[in-house]
């Protein structure tokens, strides 16, 4: 026996939100949300990189050493650590949509204030707060995607949203190329560009508050009202909706507490994802942040190093698109493990060769698979936690990676100094092998998470 297509009740038993979301066909409603979320991630990813493009001009404008630029970068990552935890907690309390709008306004506002910084101390503070907002928005965004899209498609949409987001990096680079030469203060305009995320509230009407969040907080009438609106929009495009099978009707979840992340039920997955994100973040930034420096230190010219790195970074968008294409075709647990092993293999070949063609080829593959792994892990992390503590759990795991990255550069510098160039890439490869082992041995299968409508 199945429920009628438009019904939300059977024998006076309320149908949970998850069952209603998961039976929806993909329509223009879902694609419009994808574009709006892509807009937010576009400036999120762009703002992460604005300082990198502005730094040379800032050094000249204020006559400051490279060590001061390093402090600005450290402040950004420190802010991201705090933001990843705070964003998850706040979102679980006030709602996904409100948190998404609030965190976007926060990071975009402080991006604008970066452009008006009057000295190094003020820029240090604004970069810290920009990083806080960026990371908070990322945590909220990936959890929102996990909750608002049907479970069998959320991985694909995570990949497509990130593809649009990563387009913000080359676009920011082009803007920097235009505005920096305009005047000695032209670097300030890069941060003004990053502040265009402030336009998000004007288009945020396209997205709904997560009905799962309403449901978790016992606001069942509001949850059903949101689902009624969503179903009406989908029905207008796709016709009558598929029936909800009884097996899909799971118990309505309740509101969770932060302490639940460390309770008997959730502690194994919390520990698994924390360890995964620590290894993944160290492996990711170990490659992307250090490749130009390591190439120069090993004897290649700075011009060639930056040129090759720019060529490699082109792989980011097709990498994320690749995740969008196959994320929901295979179990994400095994997809993450396989991609991690591919990164490790390509990274070893990259570090072992000194031929330019092979450096670019294997570097391109590493960059592509790195950005395939991120959307997969975003989706997998969010869906691994019950919806009542989804953002808090995602924030803890993501934040653990940011914390580890504070010490990551010191480890790489030590390995390079004492053991040489190739040892660095052996270390990075080992981190990705650890990601594959941790997820493969201890991670939950995403198929089981979808079947349980988590």
Which helix (H) or strand (E) element contains residue 74? helix 66-94
Percent of the chain, pLDDT > 90? 20
Residue 51 binned pLDDT confidence (cut-offs 50, 70, 90): confident
Q: What is the pLDDT of residues 417-440, one digit of tens each?
A: 787 778 888 999 999 999 999 999
Confidence check: pLDDT of 7 > 50: no
Domain chopping of the chain, boundaries = 28-206, 258-451
Judging by beta carbons within 10 Å of its beta carbon (0-12, 13-18, 19+), is residue 182 exposed, middle or buried? exposed
Highest mean pLDDT: which of 6-10, 306-310, 314-318, 388-392? Answer: 314-318
Q: What mean pLDDT do residues 248-256 have?
A: 48
280-336, pLDDT tens digit by residue?
988 887 776 666 556 656 565 545 554 555 666 677 778 877 777 776 778 888 999
Crossing angle of helices 390-419 and 120-148, rounded to 10°: 130
Give the CATH number of domain 28-206: 1.20.1250.20
Decide if 28-206 and 258-451 have a common fold. Answer: yes
* Domain 258-451, CATH: 1.20.1250.20
* pLDDT attached to residue 312: 67
pLDDT at 276 over 90: yes
pLDDT in tens, 139-183: 888 888 888 888 888 778 877 888 888 778 778 777 877 887 888
**Each residue of 393-425: pLDDT tens digit?**
777 887 788 778 777 767 777 887 787 778 888
Averaged over 85-113, what is the pLDDT?
A: 88
CB–CB of 439/276 below 8 Å? yes
Q: Is the pTM of this model over 0.75?
A: no
Most confident of 52-66, 167-181, 195-209: 195-209
Rounded Cα–Cα distance for residues 243 and 70 (Å)? 57
| Share above pLDDT 70 across residues of the chain, in percent, rounded to a whole number | 84
C-alpha to C-alpha distance for 164 and 410, rounded to whole angstroms: 32
Averaged pLDDT, 228-232: 92
pLDDT for the residue 433 = 96
Where is pLDDT greater, at 123 or 50? 123
Looking at the predicted structure, is the pLDDT value of residue 201 above 60? yes
C-alpha span between 370 and 315 (Å, rounded): 9
- Does residue 12 surpass a pLDDT of 90? no
Structure tokens at 401: 């990676």
Cα–Cα nearest to 153, from 332, 374, 340, 384: 332
Whether 199 shows a pLDDT value over 80: the answer reads yes
Kindly state the tokens that stand for 172: 């920011």
**Is pLDDT larger for residue 305 or for residue 186?**
186
Cα dihedral: 179, 182, 187, 191 (round 10): -40
């Amino acid at each position: 026996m199945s429920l009628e297509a438009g019904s939300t009740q059977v024998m006076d038993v309320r149908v949970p939100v998850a069952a209603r979301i998961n039976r929806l066909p993909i329509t223009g409603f879902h694609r419009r949300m994808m574009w709006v979320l892509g807009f937010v991630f576009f400036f999120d990813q762009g703002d992460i990189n604005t300082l990198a493009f502005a730094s040379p001009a800032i050094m000249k404008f204020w006559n400051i050493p490279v060590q001061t630029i390093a402090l600005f970068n450290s402040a950004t990552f420190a802010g991201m650590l705090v933001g990843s935890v705070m964003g998850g907690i706040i979102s679980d309390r006030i709602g996904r949509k409100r948190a998404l709008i609030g965190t976007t306004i926060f990071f975009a506002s402080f991006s604008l204030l970066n452009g008006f910084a009057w000295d190094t101390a003020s820029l240090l503070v604004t970069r810290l707060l920009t990083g806080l907002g960026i990371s908070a928005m990322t945590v909220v965004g990936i959890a929102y995607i996990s909750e608002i899209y049907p479970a069998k498609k959320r991985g694909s949409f995570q990949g497509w949203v990130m593809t649009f987001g990563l387009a913000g990096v080359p676009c920011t680079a082009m803007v920097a190329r235009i505005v920096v030469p305009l005047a000695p203060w032209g670097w300030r305009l890069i941060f003004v560009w990053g502040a265009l995320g402030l336009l998000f509230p004007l288009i945020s009407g396209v997205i709904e508050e997560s009905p799962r969040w309403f449901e978790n907080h016992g606001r069942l009438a509001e949850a059903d009202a949101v689902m009624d609106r969503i179903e009406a929009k989908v029905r207008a495009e796709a016709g009558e909706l598929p029936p909800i099978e009884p097996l899909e009707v799971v118990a309505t979840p309740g509101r969770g507490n932060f302490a639940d992340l460390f309770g008997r039920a959730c502690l194994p997955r919390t520990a698994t994802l924390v360890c995964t994100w620590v290894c993944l973040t160290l492996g990711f930034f170990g490659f992307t942040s250090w490749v130009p420096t390591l190439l120069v230190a090993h004897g290649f010219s700075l011009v060639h190093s930056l040129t090759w790195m720019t060529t490699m970074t082109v792989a980011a968008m097709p990498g994320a698109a690749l995740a969008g294409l196959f994320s929901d075709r295979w179990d994400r647990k095994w997809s993450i493990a396989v991609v991690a092993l591919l990164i490790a293999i390509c990274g070893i070949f990259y570090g072992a060769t000194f031929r330019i063609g092979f450096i670019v080829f294997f570097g391109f593959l590493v960059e592509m698979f790195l950005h395939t792994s991120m959307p997969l892990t975003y989706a997998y992390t969010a869906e691994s936690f019950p919806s009542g503590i989804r953002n808090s759990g995602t924030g803890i795991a993501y934040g653990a990676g940011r914390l580890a990255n504070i010490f990551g550069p010191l480890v790489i510098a030590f390995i390079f100094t004492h053991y040489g160039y190739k040892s660095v890439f052996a270390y990075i490869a080992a981190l990705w092998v650890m990601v594959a082992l941790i997820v493969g041995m201890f991670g939950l299968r995403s198929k089981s998470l979808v079947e349980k409508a988590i």
